Structure 1
Amino acid sequence: MFAANIPSVTATEVPADAYLLDVREPDEWTAGHAPGAHHLPMMEVPARMSEIPTDADVVVVCRSGGRSGQVVGYLMNNGWDNVRNLDGGMRQWAAAGRPLASEDGQPARVV
């Protein structure tokens, strides 16, 4: 479960200019992701933290909010104060009618 101190945002509250960090696995990303999102699988975050902005609104997303919540906690413990978890993840993003894009030529979907 989430620690109470993990800041979150709902799909409808994500600012248009937010840096959307998708930490799902490559097959999940290929099937469907938010247009303009940045793909960085969760297990690669420690080695690639320099790619994550410290001076912009960062919203971390996975399928349902569990993995992204862990990444938000990890980043906060490493000095990021600009990160929030997407409450409900890509499932909630899709349910809210937010746009999806796919990389495999199939209709975009959350897997």
Structure 2
Amino acid sequence: MLTVALSLCLLFFAPQGASAATAIVPPVVKAAAGEATAIDSAVEQYLSKLPSDFRAIRSVPALKSLLASGNVLLIDVRTPAEYRAGHIAGAINRPLNDLGRHVAEISPEQEVVLYCSSGFRSAMGVMALQLEGRHQVKGFAPSIESWKAAGEPVVTTEGA
């Protein structure tokens, strides 16, 4: 089921000609005259009612605080090469395209944080894990790039 969910996410949210790794913003459907469709309006209304931290960690200090609790599974959903080049200490590497094979490793009650290099892959992973019944999962929206820009350390691994 996770593979199907990820495939659907890629199909519907990747801009034409872009891969999941390079796609950042989902396309917006507009009416012919450039006005928002009824679906756009309904989605916008729904999203505006969600709390700002719904399924996302929005700052480096917020992630650091959560990690300090010691009760979080941190998953880097980037490729193995990206992971080896620099990852957040304590993170395990489960590339987005392999995430489905590792769902059983994640307890439905466990708090999980996913991150990537832009926020796109982690958002797809959060959505897919939610569909698999893992409701304590959030994405680190600022990504590894914001982590590094804040001067936070990264771990590199041989063979990068």
The one-letter code sitting in structure 1 at the alignment partner of 2:60 is A
TM-score (norm 2): 0.60
Runs of 4 or more off by more than 6 Å in structure 1?
A: none
**Structure 2: stretches of 5+ with no match in the other structure:** 1-24, 27-42
**Structure 1: stretches of 5+ with no match in the other structure:** 107-111
Using the alignment, how far apart are the partners of 1:87 and 1:103 within structure 2? 24
The one-letter code sitting in structure 2 at the alignment partner of 1:39 is N
Q: Quick check: 2:86–2:155 contact (8 Å CA) kept in 1?
A: yes
The aligned residue for residue 9 of structure 2 is: none
Does 2:107 align with 1:53? yes
Query: Out of 49, 72, 82, which is 1:28 matched to?
Result: 82
Alignment: residue pair count? 106
Whichever of the two has the greater Rg, that structure is 2
Identity %: 29
**For the aligned residues, what is the CA RMSD?**
2.1
TM-score (norm 1): 0.84
The aligned residue for residue 12 of structure 1 is: 61
Q: Quick check: 1:64–1:92 contact (8 Å CA) kept in 2?
A: no
Please state which structure has a larger fraction of its residues in helix.
Answer: 2
1:29 partner SS: helix
Query: Out of 66, 71, 88, which is 2:125 matched to?
Result: 71
The one-letter code sitting in structure 1 at the alignment partner of 2:56 is S
